[in-house]
Amino acid sequence: MFTPAPRADFPILGRTGRGGYPLVYLDSGATSQQPFAVIDAVREAVEDHNGAVKRGSHLLAEEATIAFESAREDVARFVGAAADEIVWTSGSTQSLNLIAYVLSNVSLGRGESVPPVPGVDMDRFRLGPGDVVVTTRAEHHANLIPWQELCLRTGATLRWLDLDREGRIDLSTLDVIDEHTKVVAFTHVSNVSGAISPVSEIVSAAHAVGALAVLDACQSVPHMPVDFHALDVDFAAFSGHKMLAPTGIGALYGKRDLLRALPPYQFGGSMIELVTMEKTTYADPPARFEAGTMPVAQAIGMGAAARYLQAIGMDTIAAYEANLTKILVNGVAEIPGVHVLGPAHEANRTGTVAFSVDGVHPHDVGQYLDSKGIAVRVGHHCAQPIHRHFGVFASTRASLGPYNTEDEVRFFIDTLREVRPYFGVED
């Protein structure tokens, strides 16, 4: 059966689920599965080239450093960035906390700890009372709470773009972005509704008032071609484990000059230039933001994942997943008593489909599906405000990867159709 990412590449897809049913993995929005290309790259890094990166003159240290830095180049190429614009992090959560924390350091007067960069006005990064951070009601908590905290630390105010009935960002609320706005942080694709955000409209509105545009690209990068230079965002976050790479690794993209103008937020080894007992000068980015020992093998795995996806072609993956999404979202929407939280059709969305089932708790839905070998996510998916927008506290979510088949999606829909009758819920 054709899938753009061949199923034989993913050893885990050969195992069975609960009750001996074939595993139907529909939880790639939470974490994706890893192909041999990634597993082998990580194993080879550990088996043959394990050494401390950038810290030794011996052969293993040199080989590890070369592999680590070439992974950065692979990941950068994959998202339309230059290698020195990619900072390794543990994932999107750390990437978003990093940028928010660095802005609070500038606001506290620590911007002077790095040399000025010609053409970059440090006032862009400085927040205080009267300034505004704008986010959206669709955010994962990782792109909401760091901004709440930044506002609490600096006295700035948090505002947000609202959502329409489908859960899409409502552009008629774009006027919350005004001359007081310093940051506009928003998701590229919602991890609940699957809706693709109108990036260019939001970035234009942010830049028109001199605000920084921060994109949470964690749910877009694995599913469609993404080019941060073309999108003109100032910063972006994405995670390895959602794009077929290991856990514990991710990246923050930042425009080169902006990263160079920002002070560090964690301090220690590998991020310095000169240290005396009195003071320290800091390395250029990306090292400036990579204090301590990085997850080297995982970074090498993320480089391998980027190469693997690029070899398939993100256009190919997007087109394939668009067809599966159509079957998935229409199939779910047609079941009596089941409600899609998000666009109930395939246009301008990804294959992340959350839904509620009348009369059945999401955990029971998840358990019933699991009893047939189907893995989905249940709960609030770390996005309580958008659930409240849809009038529920939790949901069940099926999310696609490039290894899912049409048969799997159809089996999922047929099984979901059994849920309400199984629990004795009448129409």
Catalytic residue among 39, 82, 209, 382: 382
Q: Does the active-site annotation cover 382?
A: yes
Q: In the numeric block, which tokens belong to residue 240?
A: 């390895």
Smaller CB distance to ligand PLP: residue 51 or 301?
301
3-state secondary structure of 342: coil
Q: In Å, how far from its chain's centre is CA 171?
A: 22
**Smallest gap, in angstroms, from Cβ of residue 247 to ligand PLP?**
8
When asked if residue 346 is in the footprint of ligand PLP (CB under 6 A), the reply is no
> Rounded to whole angstroms, what are the CA distances from 407 to 15, 22, 180, 417?
17, 12, 51, 15
- Range 87-106, binding ligand PLP (CB under 6 A): 91-93
Query: Which window, 66-74, 101-109, 135-143, 177-185, contacts ligand PLP (CB under 6 A)?
Result: 135-143
* Residue 34 vs 187, nearer CB to ligand PLP: 187
Options 33, 219, 399, 404; binder of ligand PLP; rule CB under 6 A: 219
Taking the C-alpha atoms of residue 346 and residue 50, their distance in angstroms, rounded to an integer, is 45
Query: At its nearest, how many Å lie between ligand PLP and the CB of residue 344?
Result: 20
Choose, by CB under 6 A, the member of 135, 181, 239, 415 that binds ligand PLP: 239
Tokens of 154: 């600096």
Q: Is 216 in the site for ligand PLP (CB under 6 A)?
A: yes
The residue type found at 305 is A
The structure tokens listed for 136 are 């959206």
One character per residue 365-404, x = contact with ligand PLP (rule: CB under 6 A): -----------------x----------------------
Residue closer to ligand PLP (CB basis): 158 or 382: 382
Nearer to ligand PLP, 219 or 396 (CB): 219
Residue with tokens 């994962």: 140
User: Does 187 interact with ligand PLP (rule: CB under 6 A)?
Assistant: yes
**Bridge partner list, 236:** 215, 253
Q: What is the CA radius of gyration of the chain?
A: 22
Considering the rule CB under 6 A, would residue 196 count as an interface residue with ligand PLP? no
- DSSP letters along 117-171, please? -TT--GGGG---TT-EEEEETT--GGGTHHHHHHHHHH--EEEEE-B-TTS-B-G
User: Do 24 and 403 form a contact (C-beta atoms < 8 A)?
Assistant: no
143 binds ligand PLP (CB under 6 A): yes
Give catalytic residues, as residue numbers.
382
- Residues in contact with ligand PLP by the rule CB under 6 A: 91-93, 140, 142-143, 187, 191, 216, 218-219, 239, 241, 250, 382
